[in-house]
């Protein structure tokens, strides 16, 4: 089946039109640098790659498939008309697994070996001992969200000898590298056992503000919290308040409730905070581009044959 696909920003590659045309006979591919420039072609597009703002959604009269350019989309992406439509949405989950899990383990290792403290000593030209390292084989890690990325994190944690608890609403069977699996409603009962808590969840209606002041206070004094999932999972004001009271040991953040994090935000100057600017999944950009391209081409082939698409998104739960 031939079809028309419109390619919109962001994260589009110049070679995609020719690659799609080579893969599917008779396909019509139109690529644009803005949604506004594409409006006349949206009318009869069967498929779109990219983001369609709500104000332009009515132009997509024939749309059947929307290929989202990201793995985690968030609630703002899923406006009511889109959610209630018959349009199939896919994402690019799976392209960041190794990048994000490596970034997470970098946070774990820096905290475990107290590098965040030794960096301070280095800046002060100070030779001294901070405190004993965390012995990982004696540690418990809670991985919140054991999908593609969380499963890879669990694998790496097990390689360091850690005991791994997994928390996920969509998994109800034993997984390799997970010692104990819990539903989200059990999270409060196990938080106090963790030496490390790692958030890898997408933004969903149930993960927004998941870690507020009440839940942050459930962490034990020596625990570390790491978030590379979505910034909306942690209430920043509550995080600052609990950290200032030294209720737990520290936090590693790649994502934030407010992005970019304001230059005067208190987190920047806290010695028990490690910050990276939402780059955990893009540090090897070429690799990510190749994987994104592979998913798009495969789904174009499937769409042309009326076959089930890969990476289909649950529109009501945003992932």
**Active-site amino acid positions:** 230, 259, 278
The Cα–Cα gap between 253 and 65 comes to 34
The Cα–Cα gap between 21 and 2 comes to 10
Phi-psi region of 206 (alpha: psi -120 to 50; beta: other; left: phi over 0): alpha
Give yes or no for a cis peptide into 271 (omega within 30° of 0). no
94 contacts 290 by C-beta, under 8 angstroms: no
193 contacts 167 by C-beta, under 8 angstroms: no
The Cα–Cα gap between 32 and 131 comes to 55
The Cα–Cα gap between 18 and 28 comes to 10
193 contacts 218 by C-beta, under 8 angstroms: no
The Cα–Cα gap between 301 and 319 comes to 23
Place of tokens 């082939």: 301
Report CA-CA distances (Å) from 226 to 107, 128, 199, 272: 7, 27, 6, 12
Closest CA to 198 of 224, 163, 159: 224
312 contacts 302 by C-beta, under 8 angstroms: no
Report CA-CA distances (Å) from 198 to 16, 94, 107, 211, 272: 35, 18, 10, 12, 16
DSSP conformational letter for 258: S
């Amino acid at each position: 089946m031939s079809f028309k696909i419109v390619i919109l920003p962001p994260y589009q590659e110049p070679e995609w039109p020719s690659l799609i045309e080579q893969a599917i006979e008779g396909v019509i591919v139109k690529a644009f640098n803005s949604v506004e420039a594409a409006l006349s072609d949206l009318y009869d597009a069967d498929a779109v790659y990219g983001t369609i703002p709500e104000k332009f959604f009515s132009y997509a009269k024939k749309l059947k498939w929307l290929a989202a350019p990201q793995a985690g989309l968030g609630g703002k992406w899923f406006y009511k008309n889109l959610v209630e439509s018959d349009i199939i949405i896919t994402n690019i989950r799976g392209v960041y697994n190794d990048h994000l899990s490596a970034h997470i383990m970098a946070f774990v290792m820096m905290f475990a070996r107290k590098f965040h403290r030794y960096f301070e000593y280095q800046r002060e030209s100070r030779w001294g001992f901070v405190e004993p390292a965390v012995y990982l084989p004696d540690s418990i890690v809670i991985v919140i969200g054991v999908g593609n990325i969380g499963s890879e994190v669990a694998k790496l944690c097990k390689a360091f000898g850690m005991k791994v608890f997994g928390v996920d609403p969509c998994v109800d069977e034993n997984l390799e590298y997970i010692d104990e699996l819990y539903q989200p409603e059990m999270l409060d009962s196990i938080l106090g056992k963790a030496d490390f808590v790692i958030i890898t969840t997408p933004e969903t209606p149930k993960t927004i503000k998941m870690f507020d002041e009440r839940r942050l206070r459930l962490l034990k004094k020596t625990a570390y919290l790491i978030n590379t999932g979505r910034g909306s999972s942690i209430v920043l004001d509550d995080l600052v308040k609990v950290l200032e009271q030294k209720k737990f040991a520290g936090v590693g953040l790649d994502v934030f409730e407010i992005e970019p994090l304001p230059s005067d935000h208190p987190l920047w100057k806290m010695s028990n905070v490690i910050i990276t600017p939402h780059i955990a999944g893009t540090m090897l950009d070429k690799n990510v581009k190749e994987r994104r391209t592979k998913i798009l081409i495969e789904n174009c082939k499937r769409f042309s044959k009326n076959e089930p698409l890969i990476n289909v998104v649950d529109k009501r739960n945003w992932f």
